[in-house]
Structure 1
Amino acid sequence: MDNQLKSHTPDENQIKKVLLDFYDAYYMADRIKMFSYLNQSFQDSISLNCFLIHSDFDIDVGILIEIRRIHVERQKKFALAECLVDFERGKKETVIAFKLEDEMWKIDGRSVYKRKL
């Protein structure tokens, strides 16, 4: 993953780091850390306890193979990361949304845990 995206802006670098850290937490089964990378709106809707015990949130988020592109709309406090992820059923292109909160990029939990809210 190290050489797959040459970011040029601080926002892109921060988004890349958040995404890589989220997946590292997933690989280590550290769901508390995973939860910490999700946006506040998601955390307000789903308690940490629910996130930890409910099977809807214990899902396969795949293996991150490549971050292909990051598109940032800073004024809208929104960004998208186009990624290639390897799931049990094969590789799939997916888009993960981010929200800017207090100058920190957070993963929009709804973009990872679709239809779970």
Structure 2
Amino acid sequence: RQRQLDVYGEVIDALRLARVAGLDDKPHAWNLQLSLLGFLESSWREPDEGLWEIRGARRHFVHSKVMAWVAADRAVRSLEENPELPGDADRWRAMRDAVHAEVCEKGYDPERNTFT
């Protein structure tokens, strides 16, 4: 069974962009995002098959981690833009900061000046 953690950030980003663009925002769309965030909060530190759907052992991919950051960031932005939405912005800020720190610490190669 494949695990691709990047997808959660892509979906949450797309739903936020739809909301910002003025598309009809149904309550179930935000509830979906809350469910996705709940799963991602407990699993972003785990390895996955990544965007490339690798075969073999799961690994930690920078892209997957960055998309987890995107998910947390877009959730925080959504609450800042729509204070009536339920959610825990402080918890998601903490997640966003933790993902950022891990990506900078473990996903950056200073010798090559690039994320790997």
TM bucket normalised to smaller? under 0.3
TM-score scaled to structure 2, two decimals? Answer: 0.27
Larger helix share, 1 or 2: 2
TM-score scaled to structure 1, two decimals? Answer: 0.27
Larger strand share, 1 or 2: 1
Is the radius of gyration larger for structure 1 or structure 2?
2
